[in-house]
Amino acid sequence: MTSLLLKNARIVDGTATQPGDPVDIAIEDGRFVEVGAGTKFDAEETLDLKGQIVMPGLIDCHVHVIATTADLATNAELPNSWIALKSAQMMKAMLMRGFTTVRDLGGADRGLQKAQEDGLIDAPRLVICGKALSQTGGHTDYRGPYHSRDVRYYEGKLGSMGRVLDGVDAMRAACREELKGGAQFIKIMADGGVSSPSDPVGYLVFSVDELKAAVEVAKGFGTYVSGHLYDDRAIVRALDCGIECVEHGNLMSDDTIARIAREGQVVVPTNITYDRLAKTGAEYGLPAESVAKIADVREAGLERLAKMYKAGVTVGYGSDLLGGMQPHQSGEFPLRGQYIPADAVIRSATVDAAKVLRMEGELGVIAPGAHADLIVVDGNPLDDLNLLTEQGAHMPLIMQGGVAKKKAAGL
């Protein structure tokens, strides 16, 4: 099928507090071509939605599609072929939750992206950074204090989330290699983290010169650097160096929130991952030393979310779940809904998520020219965000690029 007309659809995209009036949505060759009341369009198929809610395909701005277990050191040891097949399985589940696009923050390569583009797998559209960049002893160096294996052992491992490097020249080379390999932006581990053994949160990793070198290379390629960041000192330092996207941001100060709102950087909180790690992380392979770090960031992240909303910061939807916790990807919706309005929560996975990806007008909207990604929802998610959970149970239709990836009987 190359053309489709959806009649009497009520759009919810997070830009209003109530669903829109019924409109017709014309789709041709994978794109929206007309949206409006009484659209005259000669389509090969017409589907009357009778006032049901239609949303843009959801966007998750922070996933790790190669993280098959929360024990990331073990994950890096698994065979590439197994990782690729398991990753395809996990990505199909993401698509069936309504996520038609995801942004991978460390691990996915051009091969997985091309497999989706070529239709070899049913998966969300992938936006990738290649391998995340860490220094020795930083986040993605999973060797710990008693393992001296050379970091080059992990080169070429699809299951490795990142690569380890030290020094300005090494940073420049790594950024150039990732961009040459298909990375659409650069991911820097600019703070310590939860899932790695030897880097406390608030650890000022990488030198200022190393951070600036990454930004210089990325901007030279016409793209940006996103930073794994928790602590306020690390965030301020990263912003000073030109990093334009803050991942997590749990411990940022009020002054830094005001600065981000003023200067226009973006933030991707990932609150659901701390909720799940605290409850079940050990069961899914997270080492004890990592479980112990969770309390430092868990509660603060949700408080910061409410303050960012009030300040007008552009916030993207992020889940950041690992291994067996990935089915909780949609849990970020009701969790955020306890702190900010439902329309803002939805906007973070549609219009604002597209801004994070720098794909405004291409994704996150139902408008002429955009990719024809959409979901039909049984009920109004502005009234109940839980309609976006339960593994897509309330989504009778999921379309990606104008192709129905899920279509319930009776539609």
Q: Mind listing the pLDDT tens digit for each residue in 211-236?
A: 999 999 999 999 999 999 999 999 99
CB atoms < 10 A from the CB of 338, how many? 12
H-state helical runs in 97-207: 110-117, 168-180
Q: What is the pLDDT of residue 100?
A: 99
Tell me how far apart the alpha carbons of residues 240 and 316 are, in angstroms, rounded to a whole number.
21
Q: What is the pLDDT of residue 139?
A: 79
Q: What is the pLDDT of residue 143?
A: 75
| 203 has a pLDDT exceeding 80 | no
Q: What is the pLDDT of residue 53?
A: 98
Q: CA angle at residue 82 from 138 to 329, to 5 degrees? A: 65
Residues 6+ apart with CB under 8 A from 321: 63, 64, 67, 272, 273, 276, 328, 329
Q: What is the pLDDT of residue 60?
A: 98
Whole-structure pTM value: 0.95
Beta strands in 284-385 (DSSP E): 314-315, 374-377
Minimum mean pLDDT among 6-10, 149-153, 376-380, 381-385: which range?
149-153
Q: What is the pLDDT of residue 198?
A: 62
| 70 has a pLDDT exceeding 90 | no
Mean pLDDT of 335-344: 97
Q: What is the pLDDT of residue 214?
A: 98
| 286 has a pLDDT exceeding 70 | no
Q: What is the pLDDT of residue 279?
A: 77
Structure tokens at 109: 């390569």
Q: What is the pLDDT of residue 295?
A: 67
Would strands 3-11 and 266-268 be described as parallel, antiparallel, or unpaired?
unpaired
Minimum mean pLDDT among 116-125, 251-260, 293-302, 349-358: which range?
293-302
Mean pLDDT of 263-286: 85
Tell me how far apart the alpha carbons of residues 386 and 276 are, in angstroms, rounded to a whole number.
17
Tell me how far apart the alpha carbons of residues 393 and 296 are, in angstroms, rounded to a whole number.
34
Q: What is the pLDDT of residue 7?
A: 97
Helix-strand-coil split of the chain, %, nearest 5? 35, 20, 40
Structure tokens at 311: 């300040």
Confidence tier at 277 by pLDDT (50, 70, 90): confident
Minimum mean pLDDT among 57-66, 73-82, 279-288: which range?
279-288
Spell out the domains of the chain, with CATH numbers in brackets: 3-57+364-407 (2.30.40.10), 58-356 (3.20.20.140)
Residue closest to 392 by CA, chosen among 403, 402, 382, 407: 407
Mean pLDDT of 123-138: 94
| 352 has a pLDDT exceeding 80 | yes
Q: What is the pLDDT of residue 71?
A: 85
Q: What is the pLDDT of residue 179?
A: 98
Q: What is the pLDDT of residue 129?
A: 98
Name the β-bridge partners of 376.
54, 397
Residue closest to 161 by CA, chosen among 185, 123, 188: 188
Q: What is the pLDDT of residue 242?
A: 98
CB atoms < 10 A from the CB of 182, how many? 15
Q: What is the pLDDT of residue 37?
A: 94
Determine the straight-line distance between the first and last CA of the chain, rounded to whole angstroms: 16
Percentage of the chain lying above the pLDDT 70 cut: 94
H-state helical runs in 110-266: 110-117, 168-180, 208-220, 232-240, 254-263
Structure tokens at 2: 């190359």
Mean pLDDT of 137-160: 78
Tell me how far apart the alpha carbons of residues 380 and 307 are, in angstroms, rounded to a whole number.
26
Q: What is the pLDDT of residue 29?
A: 96
| 108 has a pLDDT exceeding 70 | yes
Q: What mean pLDDT is reported for the chain?
A: 93
| 154 has a pLDDT exceeding 80 | no
Structure tokens at 86: 């398991």
| φ, ψ (nearest 5 deg) of residue 21 | -65, 155
Mean pLDDT of 403-411: 93
